[in-house]
Amino acid sequence: MAVVSAPHTATPDALLRQDPEMAEVILGETRRQADSLQLIAAENFTSPAVLAALGSPLANKYAEGYPGHRYHGGCELVDAAERIAIARAKALFGAGHANVQSHSGSSAVLAAYAALLRPGDTVLAMGLPYGGHLTHGAPVNFSGRWFDFVGYGVDAGTGLIDYPQVRALAREHRPKAVVCGSISYPRHIDYAAFRQIAEDVGAYLIADAAHPIGLVAGGAAPNPVPYADVVCATTHKVLRGPRGGMILCGEELAERVDRAVFPFTQGGAQMHTIAAKAVAFGEAAAPAFTVYAHQVVANARALAKALAAEGLRITTDGTDTHLITADPAPLGVDGRTARGRLAAAGVVLDTCALPYVEGRGLRLGTAAVTTQGMSEAEMARIALLFTSALRGGAETARRVRAEVRELVGRFPPYGKLS
Ligand SMILES: Cc1ncc(COP(=O)(O)O)c(C=O)c1O
């Protein structure tokens, strides 16, 4: 029996015939995503076109190097795919150069550091207790092992980035690079202020825009590209592409960035993912994506307000983005217990560290529910379901579970699933 017959073998039916065990897992996960409320701030539903590119025979192709300069034969068409992805990324974000090969957001940050820094250099980034990412100096991560990180925080009263503190720390520690970006900061970042701080001490500015980059594409958040030397991003959050990373910079750093990705930190490019990134960039350039990005923010604002009205403490008293962080303590429940109760009711989200709060808080986002077509009215309903579930009790969980199922059933991400 031929292993490969035609591209259309990459369908659920083919998988079902050949490997029912794995097909069952994939179909089960597909149902889980559609049957519960996806409030994980870093997730979204990619389009069928993105999924088609991901499941295409481009997955078979080895392509070390860059378009026109590959170590493998037969790269003419994947070269075309990568050139399209690069051109679309540059146009979408107004960047002089784009590298679309990073396998993930973390790989993109690793490559940015490799391009600009040497082991032992000092880097100033948001401290992990305030919302810094693992790659911003966590001791368990390469960043904390190989660089000397200094952490800045947020103001204890407002929860906003303490720019005077960032400036003071920069002057004191003279970092080689300043990193701005976070896993949980719900407000816009003042890239111009960070640029000034970096310039003041002769440091590079690296923007880790993993979270807001999709809002940037849709014109709903400020663009770091004009301010940062290097911008790192993921392609799978609000941007709604495949799981992966990307780096944007000016032409003057293009070669250093490219060489930091390949051959320094990665091998062969994942051409199916790069094609899928190109599809997502194309979608993000369409007017409908601008509407989407603004609705994501409107939904997050509405949800934050409704959750606050139900008694949750919302960090910074609201949001400018897709992302909300909340302390459920006023409802008498800690973050971990809250996540468990919400999960039992079909509401899926993360816990996260909250500045100046002991224990874990909750992090949620509106990218996925907005892709499903929900708007402010549904956010008000979600807030009520959310707080009912938080108050606990098996009977309440069952009732909320049924209501969640009814709600998401009206907004199927990929049409009706059998
Ligand atoms: C600020 C920031 N940087 C980097 C990353 C890493 O992305 P990935 O999980 O794709 O490695 C994330 C992921 O959420 C992030 O929020």
Residue type, 175: P
Does an H or E element contain 374, and which? none
Residue partners of 231: CB distance under 8 A and separation at least 6: 93, 95, 206, 207, 209, 213, 224, 225, 247, 248, 249
- In sequence order, the β-bridge partners of residue 152 are 126
Sort 366 into a burial class: Cβ within 10 Å, 0-12 / 13-18 / 19+.
buried
pTM of the shown model: 0.95
Using CA atoms, how far residue 392 sits from 85, 326, 378, 380, 399, in Å, is 47, 17, 22, 19, 11
105 Cα nearest atom in ligand 1: 7
Nearest 5 degrees, angle CA 275-CA 86-CA 202?
135
Residue 392: the pLDDT is: 81
Predicted pLDDT of residue 16? 85
Atom of ligand 1 nearest to the CA of 236: 10
Closest CA to 101 of 58, 64, 76: 64
Catalytic residue ranges: 62, 64, 208, 234, 237, 243
- Pair type for strands 360-365 and 323-327: antiparallel
Beta bridge mates, 231: 207, 248
Report in angstroms the alpha-carbon separations of 382 from 135, 211, 351: 33, 22, 18
Choose one of 101, 102, 103, 106 to mutate for the ligand 1 pocket test, by most ligand atoms within 8 angstroms of C-beta.
106
Q: Tell me what pLDDT residue 416 has.
A: 63
Determine the distance from the C-alpha atom of residue 94 to the mean position of all C-alpha atoms in its chain, rounded to a whole number: 20
**What pLDDT is recorded for position 8?**
42
H/E stretch holding 20: helix 20-35
| pLDDT reported for residue 2 | 38
Cα separation, 88 vs 82, in Å, equals: 10
pLDDT score at 7: 42
Measured from CB, residues less than 6 Å from any atom of ligand 1 are: 42, 104-106, 109, 133, 135, 181-183, 208, 210-211, 234, 245
Segments in the chain below pLDDT 70: 1-12, 416-418
CA distance 195 to 322: 24
Copy the structure tokens of residue 296: 């994501």
Looking at 311-371, list the stretches that DSSP marks H as alpha helix, in order from N- to C-terminal side: 335-344, 367-371
